[in-house]
Amino acid sequence: MRRQIVGLLVISALVMAVTATEVSAADHQEVRQVMGTLATVQAWAPDDPMAQAAVDTAFAVFDHVDSLMSTWNGNSPLSRLNAAPVATWIPVGHEVCHVLQAAIKVTHDTGGAFNPTVLPLVKLWGFRGGTPTLPSGPALAAALSLVDISQLQVADDQARLRRSGMALDLGGIAKGYALDRAVAAMLRVGAQGGVLDLGGNLFVFGQGAESEVGIVDPARPETLILTVPLSSGAVATSGQYERFVTVGGQAYGHVLDPRTGWPAASGFSATVLAPQALWADALATAALVLGVESGLKMLEGIPGVEGVIVGPDGIEVTSGLVGVAGPHRAQ
Ligand code: ADP
Ligand code: MG
């Protein structure tokens, strides 16, 4: 049995390393900048052209999802929905509607810790340009009044926002969706296995499976403090180190608490294992907002999902990982 490092995730202070146990036939790997982050895709296939095609297919899916759901691109269906007159139905297509429906479900399942209507807050805190400043109380209250999932409606490949000034941000879920679609596309072109890493979101399938994922201490990024098994499926990590604004010497992370309007606490990371990357991605964001106790409780309540939350007081894992997750073994 050969053990090799097949992927290394670097999320600023967060690093996850993956080791695969088996390799066969041809494999191909590429790293590209997509969806505002770095993506690494490795595919195993019967021959080189197929492995190359599988990798290309995955990157094409990433670009496609970005073109649909980016809020940085004013022409994406999501941006057109955000810019539409209040309460106007906008045809956004099947895929955007699928992700919006999933985002609504996660919002309910997490008691509002995840919420795709968070964009007014994201802008207020300076994550979309301008000089970041601490928001005033009235500004925070005004933005918070626009964070309301009940005012997002989705039907028949269309969506509408029922309050003036509302806007959606799928940054906490779209990369997971893109990974799921990329894996499906890779399988269609004959991939036998793959390891995909999209900015902190990981998917392992087929020959890339039976892997281990190392999670770093958010306070000591050079140290892997925990190893969790990943037999097949998705893992996502959310933390506040990857993207933040600095105001008065203080760092404010990009994951915001939709219930208070303030950034989730720094110094933590939340890692979620799930059969699908969409859920891992969104639930990791939610778990970071909820913090150790509530975050673990929320994850425990969702079948098929496990998680690890690392904070200043140590490591907490869901019950399905007790005795399975072990300290990192030096390589
Ligand atoms: P990353 O983008 O680094 O993978 P996340 O998956 O945690 O990290 O998503 C964070 C992004 O999601 C933010 O940059 C913002 O666009 C958006 N966001 C911030 N807070 C929330 C929240 N509470 N619920 C849903 N989306 C959020
Ligand atoms: Mg996320």
**Span 93-123, pLDDT tens digits:** 999 999 999 999 999 999 999 999 999 999 9
Residues in the 5 Å CB sphere of ion ligand 2: 172, 281, 285
Query: How many Cα atoms within 13 Å fall on the side-chain side of residue 231?
Result: 5
Give the integer Cα–Cα distance in Å for 309 and 269. 6
Q: Are 309 and 269 in contact (CB under 8 A)?
A: yes
Dihedral angle computed from the Cα positions of residues 206, 207, 211 and 213, in that order, rounded to the nearest 10 degrees: -70
Per-residue tokens: 129: 């340009």
Stated as kind and residue range, the H or E segment containing 78 is helix 77-83
Ligand 1 atom, smallest distance to 289 CA: 23
Exposure string for 222-255, b = 16+ CB within 10 A, e = fewer? eebbbbbebeebbbbbbbbbbebbeeeeeebbbb
Sign of CA dihedral 162, 166, 172, 177: positive
Query: To test ligand 1's pocket by mutation, which of 14, 78, 127, 255 has the most ligand atoms within 8 angstroms of CB?
Result: 255
In this structure, the residues whose C-beta lies within 6 A of any atom of ligand 1 are 114-116, 118, 122, 169, 171-172, 175, 199-200, 238, 242-243, 254-256, 258, 281, 285, 289
Percent of the chain scored above 90 by pLDDT?
A: 80
**Span 260-318, pLDDT tens digits:** 999 999 999 999 999 999 999 999 999 999 999 999 999 999 999 999 999 999 899 99
Distance 169 CA to ligand 1 centre (A): 8
Q: pLDDT averaged over consecutive 10-residue blocks of the chain (331 residues)?
A: 26 35 76 97 96 98 98 97 98 98 98 98 96 96 98 98 98 98 98 94 83 82 83 92 89 96 95 97 98 98 96 93 71 39
Give the integer Cα–Cα distance in Å for 202 and 190. 20
- What pLDDT, on the 0 to 100 scale, is given for residue 327? 72
Ligand 1 atom, smallest distance to 113 CA: 23
- What pLDDT, on the 0 to 100 scale, is given for residue 210? 63
Residue that is written with structure tokens 């049995």 in the block: 1
User: In terms of Cα–Cα distance, which of 39, 87, 93, 86 is closest to 67?
Assistant: 93
- What pLDDT, on the 0 to 100 scale, is given for residue 24? 57
Per-residue tokens: 293: 């106790």
